[in-house]
Amino acid sequence: MSALSNESFSQFMWVEAALPFSAIAQRFRIGGMLSMKKMNIKTLLLCSGIVYLLVLCFIGSKKNYAAAPSSISPEILAAQQAELLLADMTLHEKICQMMFTAPEQICGSSPITKADEAVAKALTDYPVGGLLYSSPNLISQAQTASMIQETQAMSKIPLFIAADEEGGTVNRLMKKLGTTYIHSMYQYKDEGTDTAYQNACTIASDMSALGFNLDFAPVADVWSNPQNKVIGKRAYSDDYTQASELVSAAVSGFHDGGVLCTLKHFPGHGDTVEDSHKASAHVYKTKEELYAKELQPFLAGITANADFVMMGHLNVDCLDSQNPASLSPIIIQETLRHDLGFDGIVITDALQMSAIANNYTPEEVAIKAVIAGNDMLLEPVDIAKTVSALENAVSQGTIPEERINESVRKILIQKITWMGK
């Protein structure tokens, strides 16, 4: 498999729909090589649409052919384009798309505050799927916008650019860049869904204006245990029904404000005493209690079309007594995917957190995370060891390459769909 080049990504995406004229137009290509700097996903969508219309016109002139569909949905178009990109990618490139890192993790220096040659080289060596920026990366609004724009231009495939911007105690932009200050969500719990929507929309608008396209919010955990300190007032409510309504409204607000959003920390970190940043955290509810209570805000967010779900490093014995939720095939594939119907991108919580880092090697956690069903791995302890372990696992047959393709396909479709709007 040849490596995905700027040229192969940007020159053209032919549409290969299931049409009766495939014998005539199996593959259409637009000639000419357009540089990545001049052509983005939105342009690709337009080009593919033009080709499709030309094919329809050609077919319309032939009397003996069955009628072609009058239109092609954006979802189908995005899926076709994703397959084309996927076919051009090496295994290394595909695995790197599943990595979501801080810029320092791939550059080897700290802090990163501009898109320089080190960043360009890092994105060539490890073309990750997303970058998470935090307070040390942010100096001013102008610096942040420039850094993000120039970093995006260096990446062959557009990056997810994220921050933890919940409001209140967990914010990056508000504190460092002076964006609109929003308090912790719990403070607004009795102000209704309009306020939840508007808060999310404001946060998202401020993020989008600087080049961010993803927020690791809203918190869908319910502050159901007064002893819980890690979630606390980050939650929208201590009531399951109220939290569900507010989280649903927030998802719509994030989208209307211009960013993708993430429900966290599945299947619910609000009932734990322990903090998974520091140690293993345990959820002691029964399965029936969990489904009736903790999972309800997640279900509401999924119904509202949340894009990502972040898996908590939580020991939930009623669902899986062997693995934390972030490494559990049962919790990801059965509970989240099957029972709650989530078909978006599943991402781990940060793999540097003690609940994981103290119990697994980078190689072990990489393999377990992918086998469990995660599409993206957030902040692995060692990016080189993580990528190498997954490459070896595929070559040895421990992980089928189609399992990698499955996740990368989701990632590419999300990027094409969102960035093509």
List the catalytic residues: 277, 349
Q: Is 286 exposed, middle or buried (0-12, 13-18, 19+ CB in 10 A)?
A: exposed
Q: Which helix (H) or strand (E) holds 54?
A: helix 41-60
CB neighbourhood size of 26 (10 A): 9
Tell me the CA distances in angstroms from 50 to 26, 43, 60, 69, 287, one per residue in order. 16, 11, 15, 15, 51
Amino acid identity, position 108: G
Q: Coil, strand or helix: which one is 163?
A: strand
Structure tokens at 223: 């502050």
∠ CA 217-348-168, nearest 5°, is 25
Query: Pick from 217, 135, 117: which is nearest to 176 by CA?
Result: 135
**Rounded Cα–Cα distance for residues 408 and 376 (Å):** 9
E-only strand ranges, 84-209: 99-101, 130-132, 160-163
Q: How many residues are present in the chain?
A: 421
- CB 184 within 8 Å of CB 236: no
What pairing do the DSSP bridges indicate for beta strands 377-378 and 308-311?
A: unpaired
What the block records as the tokens of 161 is: 């650019």
Token look-up 């499955």 returns: 406
Q: How far apart are CA 197 and CA 271, in angstroms?
A: 25
99's tokens:
């990595």
